[in-house]
Every structure is written in C-alpha cells, then in structure tokens.
Structure 1
Amino acid sequence: MVVREGHTLLFQRRNEPNAGLWGFPGGHVELGETALAAAARELLEETGVTATPRGYLTNLDIVARSADGTIAHHYLLAAVVCDYVSGTPVADDDAMDAAWVPVEAALAGDRPMSENVGKVLRLVLG
C-alpha cells in the first residue's frame, strides 16, 4: 500500500474474489520471489505506479465460506507499506480502475471497498 500527500493508491478489482470492489493492489508471489518484491511488481502491473517496499505492516487471514459452510478459499494477505517513486495510476492487468483516493474518503468508504481496507489504512497512518 502507498500513502502520498494525503491520498492512498487504490484499485478496483476486475476478477474474483471481490470483483468490482476497491482495495490495495496486490497478488500472488511468484516462485523464488520475496513478498516485498511481489508487492512492488503487482503494484506496477496493476496500476503503473512504481514504489519501493519499506516493510510489512500486518498479515490478514481471509477465509471465505460457501453457503454450506465449507471453506471456499483461504488467503493470507501480507500488507506491505511502499514509498512512492513515480507514475500515474492507470488500470492494467486485473484492475478495472486505479486512482489516488483521499485518505478521508477511503476511510469513510466513499466507494465499495474490500474488507479490511480501513483497518489496514488506519494501521499505516499510526
């Protein structure tokens, strides 16, 4: 996640899970890639923004269940704080849209958000 000049970089997911919802860019770690390197790569692929990973902020267990109660998927998300380097947000890869969103607007849920966006954003703001 990137926070810069009172704004946070968010993108709107094209694919499930959470298609149509806004959240922080991210994705899968490639074989042999560190999670920090993956965060920078996914950020660039999804938004066109280059940033330098500063470190881990938190981890989130995301467990979704089917209607019958069985586990549909379980993700361990590593929230990585990154420092902005360059670029203007442009939706790419599996993003429908990407934008610098005012922090206050993101915290207020001014658009449909993925679960935990506010929680993670509050952590980075201290």
Structure 2
Amino acid sequence: MPSHPVPATIAAVIRDGQVLLVRRANPPDAGLWGFPGGKIDHGETIEAAAVRELFEETGIRAEAGPVFTAVDAMDLATTGGVHAHYVLIAVLCRWAAGEPQAGDDALEAAWHDLDGLDHAGLAMSFGVADVARQAAILASLAV
C-alpha cells in the first residue's frame, strides 16, 4: 500500500427522501454500509469516477453534481498502525435511471430512508449519516 493518502470518490444519491447505500465487500469497512465509490483512475475527473463507481457497484445511472465534502477512511492494521488511508471526495449525484443491484465491490445495494437513518440499526461506516444529511440539504437546494 502507498505511504500516502489515496484519493477516492463517493457518490451521494438522494431520491424521494432516501439515500442510496451499499454494504461494502472489501476493506476498508468490509460489511458496513456506506456510499458507492472507489479509487479515482489516473486522468479521470472526480465527477466521472463517482458516476462510474456508482454504476459499477449499483447499476444506477446518474449525473454528477457538485463536490461537497471530503472525509478520511482509514484501514487500520492489526498492529495499530494505518494499513491504508483514503481521502473520500463526496459528489452529489442526481439519479437518472435504474434500481439498485449489488455489483463489483458491493454485497448489497439499497435505498434507505433519510429520516430513519440514525435509528435503522444499520452498521455504517463512520460519518455516513452526516454526509447523507449534507447531501440531502444540498439536493433540496438544487430543486
């Protein structure tokens, strides 16, 4: 693994009071619910990576909107050190077509109610609920 943070993107899709999440198949956060996303390829824009990763992991087609926040994701080694460090750049994406089907790095893909996200009993990656709320506010302003 590189000794520096790796840039990656996450796609935040809000539709009808729900947020699209995937249950991750691979580290970091394997088994936890989070946003579809992944590493940005060399020469690929943040927005293009978000749309690509969204489709690969969920089958959802979307249009990229604005970048609105960034969060750190750490894959901690059993020795207590950091095995990998990703900087996840959040892109608000507008749903265009499709229904979620898990693919690529996802075990599951599904819409979840924004209002009940904190009480849904989902094992989520750190910060997912906060980023979802930020995305919902931004999405409501774009209407």
Please, what TM-score do these two structures have when normalized by structure 1? Answer: 0.92
Distance in 2, matches of 1:14 and 1:62, equals: 15
CA contact (8 A) 1:107 1:121 kept: no
User: What is the SS of the residue equivalent to 1:44?
Assistant: helix
- Computed over aligned residues only, the root mean square deviation of the Cα atoms, in angstroms, reads 1.4
Q: 2:27 aligns with which of 7, 16, 22?
A: 16
Distance in 1, matches of 2:120 and 2:28, equals: 19
CA contact (8 A) 1:47 1:98 kept: yes
Distance in 2, matches of 1:107 and 1:125, equals: 14
Question: What percent of counterpart residues are identical?
Answer: 43
Distance in 2, matches of 1:90 and 1:83, equals: 17
User: What is the SS of the residue equivalent to 1:82?
Assistant: strand
- 2:4 maps to what in 1? none
Task: Tell me whether 1:35 sits opposite 2:46 in the alignment.
Answer: yes
Distance in 2, matches of 1:67 and 1:16, equals: 13
Q: Give 1:1-126 correspondences, 5 Å limit.
A: 1-126=12-137
Kindly tell me the number of residue pairs found equivalent between the two proteins.
126
Please, which runs of 5 or more residues in structure 2 have no aligned partner?
A: 1-11, 138-143
Q: Name whichever of 90-99 and 100-109 sits farther off.
A: 100-109
Distance in 2, matches of 1:90 and 1:31, equals: 27
Kindly report structure 1 stretches of 4+ aligned residues shifted beyond 4 Å. Answer: none
1:67 Cα deviation after fit: 4.8
Going from structure 1 to structure 2, the CA distance change for 1:19 and 1:26 (only over 3 Å counts) comes to same
Distance in 2, matches of 1:19 and 1:61, equals: 16
Distance in 2, matches of 1:14 and 1:91, equals: 10
1:70 Cα deviation after fit: 2.5
CA contact (8 A) 1:22 1:114 kept: yes
User: What is the SS of the residue equivalent to 1:104?
Assistant: coil
Distance in 2, matches of 1:90 and 1:65, equals: 29
Deviations 1:42-62 (A, max 9, x none): 000000000101010101123
Deviations 1:10-51 (A, max 9, x none): 011111111111110000111111010000000000000001
